[in-house]
Amino acid sequence: MLRSVAVSLSLALPIASQQIYDIWSTTWQRDNLFTYKNLGSSPINFVTPGSTGTSDIQVNDTTYYQDIIGFGASLTDSSAKLLSELKSQNSNQYWSLINYLFDPTDGADAAAMTYLRVPLGATDFSASAYTYDDTSGDTSLSAFSIDATPSYVFSTLADILSVNSVLKIHVCPWSPPGWMKDGGSIDGGKFYTSFTSTYANYLLKALQGFQAKGIPVWAISLQNEPQNSNPTYPSALIGAYWEGQLGDQLRTLMNDNGFADTLIIGYEHNWDDAGAYPVQLMEDAGAAFDGVAFHCYAGTVGEQETFHSAYPDKNVYFTECSGTIGSDWWSDIKWYMSNIFIGTVNNWARNGAMWNLALDGSGQPELPGSNSCGGGGCRGVVQVNSNGTWSVNQEFYAIAQASKAVVPKDSGGPFGQRIGVSVGGNQALVVAAFVTRRASSSDWWRYSLVVLNQNDDNNGTWDPVDISATIEFKGKQASYTFPVGVTTLWWYAAPE
């Protein structure tokens, strides 16, 4: 879908108790694409319970789980390059896209992404492989320069921050400098542990570099995919023990240099090792880390529970998964919702994020020689074209439908918190539930559901069927027919 100007909607204010006014939906046949419906004068009322629907969604408003920080993607060098080229070419299209992605204002027609991962140095989506200090043997880091990162990354970040002041920026390196690794290359190889304190200083300098550019950093990870060494793009092996040592040293440096509030997040790798590397990391150096982050490329989302049950006081994040060009739109939406934008949240994640925020229609520009995306290429959340136009992909709709459920209701107010929910009857609905508290203690809390209806199959035959469901909440019941697709809905109730 090609969009021109983001339109601002005015939402109905809640005027009576427990009524659903606000609904966004994305349907399998794409007749709704993050389409907003305001029920206005005919809201759905929560009433005295009657018989239950085909599926019965039971919201438990007194069971509280993790606070959410929001949903988003990674601003790779390549994404920033395409976005900045769009800005030079067609500034109106650029700003309509930035707003459509990031405007968190209540009622804006926007995905309201509030989480953005930003690489420290090159990745497989950079014009060339570089780090902030590629002078071999420079243990004093005298040649360190944050300006190794192309200026379009910082200018794009500044533009995004200009429309979203609650953005959580999470930085992460793909590799230490090549001279700190065996093999000597930025691409692949193993970290030399003798450089642990040098590298901790390097990461502190990176935080200071972002600070000097006016970019606030919410969290830092220490190594993207520390169990992956690939000779065709920036990557490095760092064992759990040494990531822990690095975290300990960096935590002290950060505390001593004005970054006490910036979190350190560990692991940043696949679900399949959830019970090993991240658990060992917490055993060795848990005090330094806020928690750990998972990627989607091996294992299953349920494995996040293995980590959570070992370290229930540590936070879980989900920070990377990429779409692949050529895959089926609706199959992708189902997978993303059940595994990431509903699935990771129901398995303790505070966020969910895709990989490249923006690429072109061929998954470019990718680092020359990188083999990271296989045949079809990686698909960005948005496609930016060389003729100054853009469109959004299935990844966008998955992010947007989840984001609308948790974005602060009030400017500067709290984000959503996950609450209890279960589904009785037909199990084709996959659901997450949230409460978003208010800036003022007397204002009514916003409750929200994100519902995937994947009822599209009748014993192997394509047969999409809507589900007429009931929603149980505080002893009352509402009825809604969920189309095959994703629905996000809001209602309000007095604070507890």
Is position 362 an interface residue for ligand NAG (rule: CB under 6 A)? no
Residue of the chain from 385, 423, 465, 476 that contacts ligand NAG (CB under 6 A) = 385
Q: Which residues contact 466 (CB under 8 A, 6 or more apart)?
A: 453, 455, 481, 482, 483, 484
Is position 89 an interface residue for ligand NAG (rule: CB under 6 A)? no
Whether the CB-CB separation of 128 and 122 falls below 8 Å is answered with yes
Is position 387 an interface residue for ligand NAG (rule: CB under 6 A)? yes
The least CB distance from residue 385 to ligand NAG, in Å, is 4
Is position 461 an interface residue for ligand NAG (rule: CB under 6 A)? no
Query: Distance between alpha carbon 333 and the CA centroid of its chain, in Å?
Result: 15
Is position 4 an interface residue for ligand NAG (rule: CB under 6 A)? no
Which span sits near ligand NAG by CB under 6 A: 69-77, 344-352, 384-392, 430-438?
A: 384-392
Question: Which x/- pattern over 403-442 shows residues binding ligand NAG (rule: CB under 6 A)?
Answer: -----------------x----------------------
- Residue 301 burial (CB count, 10 A): 21
Q: Closest CB to ligand NAG among 41 and 459? A: 459
The least CB distance from residue 458 to ligand NAG, in Å, is 5
- The interface with ligand NAG within residues 287-316 (CB under 6 A) comprises none
- Residue 309 burial (CB count, 10 A): 10
- E runs forming strands in 286-444: 291-295, 315-320, 323-324, 351-356, 358-359, 378-379, 382-384, 390-392, 416-425, 429-436
Is position 29 an interface residue for ligand NAG (rule: CB under 6 A)? no
Is position 49 an interface residue for ligand NAG (rule: CB under 6 A)? no
Q: Which two tokens stand for residue 198?
A: 């040098």
Type and span of the H or E element at 403: helix 394-406
Is position 63 an interface residue for ligand NAG (rule: CB under 6 A)? yes
Q: Which two tokens stand for residue 166?
A: 């609650």
Is position 62 an interface residue for ligand NAG (rule: CB under 6 A)? yes
127 SS3 class: coil
Is position 459 an interface residue for ligand NAG (rule: CB under 6 A)? yes
* Size, binding site for ligand NAG by CB under 6 A: 10
Is position 365 an interface residue for ligand NAG (rule: CB under 6 A)? no
Which span sits near ligand NAG by CB under 6 A: 38-46, 235-243, 305-313, 385-393?
A: 385-393
CA angle centred on 60, ends 27 and 67, rounded to 5°? 75
The least CB distance from residue 309 to ligand NAG, in Å, is 16
Taking CA atoms, 68 is separated from 342, 403, 410, in Å, by 12, 10, 15
| Alpha-carbon torsion, ordered 87, 91, 96, 100, to 10 deg | 10
The least CB distance from residue 49 to ligand NAG, in Å, is 12
Which span sits near ligand NAG by CB under 6 A: 56-64, 258-266, 268-276, 367-375?
A: 56-64
Q: Closest CB to ligand NAG among 227 and 454? A: 454
The least CB distance from residue 64 to ligand NAG, in Å, is 9
Residue of the chain from 252, 255, 440, 458 that contacts ligand NAG (CB under 6 A) = 458
| Cα 264 from Cα 322, distance rounded (Å) | 23
Would you report the helix, strand and coil content of the chain in percent, each value rounded to 5?
25, 30, 40
Provide the phi-psi class of 288: left if phi over 0, else alpha when psi is between -120 and 50, else beta. Answer: alpha
Whether the CB-CB separation of 6 and 108 falls below 8 Å is answered with yes
Q: Which two tokens stand for residue 271?
A: 């679900």
Q: Closest CB to ligand NAG among 369 and 420? A: 420
Q: Closest CB to ligand NAG among 17 and 389? A: 389
Residue of the chain from 389, 423, 438, 443 that contacts ligand NAG (CB under 6 A) = 389
| Partners of 27 in beta bridges | 485
Binding site for ligand NAG (CB under 6 A): 60, 62-63, 361, 385, 387, 389, 420, 458-459
